[in-house]
Chains A and B, each alone.
Chain A
Amino acid sequence: MTAEPAVATIEGTRVEYLDVTRVFGATRALDGFTLQIEPGELLALLGPSGCGKTTALRLLAGFDQLSSGQLLIDGRDVSRQPVNKRDMGMVFQSYSLFPTMSARDNVGFGLRLRGASTSDRRRRAGELLELVGLSAHTEKYPHQMSGGQQQRVALARALAIQPRVLLLDEPLSALDAKVRTQLRDEIRRIQLELGVTTVFVTHDQEEALSMADRVGVMRAGQLEQCDAPSVLYQRPATPFVAEFVGTMNHLPGVVRDGSTVQVGDQSVPADGQVPLSGTAVSVLARPEAVLVEASVEGDAVVQVATFFGAVTRLRMLRSDGVELLADVSSHRAGELAPGTRVAVSLVDRPVLVRTPSS
């Protein structure tokens, strides 16, 4: 929207978790967690509930103390630094605006604590509220604003102190779908404009994949994989990541030689390390990598067709009992209605294979 940043850019900082462990009683919320976040990067931590992503964020904010390991910001250990000395800007899930202060006062709160003059506070708060598109709402109180507006104020408040790292703790999860999408785009725009290092915790993979430079997928207190969204989606490093990110078909196959796998009567190239020839494997294929053609001689039948707008997802059952999902363009959905017999094949590009034990 704005050609140039309305407020000064923030010098991005490097964040490093080094073998960090956080123990709560018998639970290891973080277990040898290691991660480097580059200056100016937006990193999303993604994972199921209880995987430790919020704990990782709270440790960085200073709300919690790590049990062991190190937490470095620009190479300096901040593990023991109190929360109010860390200069982190945090946006919470539940808005957390001070109810007795106007939007301007909320944004100016951190600046006042840093000794900024009244005129400076007003100017900076005005700039930031303009940056988040709320310049007409500066005198409103939280109860006079919608959830999306409150979260924008919270973002402006967090940015006002020129934080070393911007921390976003599921900031969109309390908002409705349309506002969520709008705010998602705005957060990304502002983050790119200001260049602030950002850690974004979410359980919504669409949010993570669409916003982040890199996504760290967590499970049981550990980092399973941290990569660019496209890499994470196309080349998941572990079965858990493959299952958790997006939807995956598992088709039985047999390794033919060092580079191809036989799936039904189709031979497809295999990606990565391939087991010995003759090994039974599970072939992983995304729904969009499954080709479907209506055919009376086909060995699968469409069971359910779910309309998602541009694409329609087909759930099919093969004659050998294997269930398959395929995404087809919605304009073809008419010819692939439930009950239609279809022929199914895979797009001719490398597929991931897993042995049943992996």
Chain B
Amino acid sequence: MLNSRQKRELLRQMYTIRAFEEKAEQLYTLGKIHGTMHLSIGMEASAVGAIAALRPDDLILSTHRGHGHCIAKGADLKLMMAEFMGKETGYCRGRGGSMHIADVEGGNLGANGVVGGGIPIAVGVGLSLKMQKRDQIILCFFGDGAANLGPFHEALNMAAIWKLPVVYVCENNQYAMSFSVKKAFAIERISDRAAAYGMPGVTVDGNDLMAVYQAVSQAVKRARAGEGPTLIENVTYRWRGHSKSDANRYRTREEIEAWKQKCPIKRFRTQLIEEGVLTEEEADQIEQEAYATIDAAVAFAEASPEPTLETIEEGVYV
């Protein structure tokens, strides 16, 4: 179980993700960001709760909506913001941007611009960990949209037949771009598909950090014990559009508002205050500090150099 210090840390992480993404949106509006971005505002408990169940040396594969995963995995916010702004000091030297942030040394094997792109890679990572008899596991995030891709089928089957140390976390945020899960699935729960591969499938309230943490912890335990993968479905909701091109034509304002009432951060904060883990004032302080660290990261990124043209062809080959 998590102690008070750990719970405060998780609240801090959620606020940091929210602060990062609000700032990202702001920078975009100011015209300081080149390209697009995918915000996970409203989904913070899924990223933080899942990664809290990992050891620091465990690995993750992330998605195009990956800022939260990256921060929860312990990324340096300065390097992350610098990457977001395309700077040489960024995690990927400005070559990747929002959609490809990776911190391989820190165990984040990368966000992914292709929906479902990480799901088969997780098989290889799991196989590699198993062959090297390393005591780590790989947690692979993907969305509800990715669960309808062929790679989902191939990869989950392979992970299951070889009992690989993989935890598959499906962040069901209700929409694959504009396509509702209600239209995209003839089943109630995406996790029901786990049965087809002979692995446990669990659906949890993805806005309840502790529920996510507990479900993923079980799956991690199972993976580390060599018993194979688990499919977890975190039911959540993205408050913002799919990307910056989204005019929200496929859903109602009422629906978005209803989900905003289920804010995962407010929920966890209230829970911690009720438990006596922290006071209102302490929670406010954590929130303010999170926003301050993001401001510092922006300052670092803005002061960082752009990549030079002389380096344009670097890194294609070893």
Q: Do A and B bind each other?
A: no
Which residues of B are at the interface with A, using a C-beta cutoff of 8 A? none
- A-side residues, CB < 8 A to B, are none
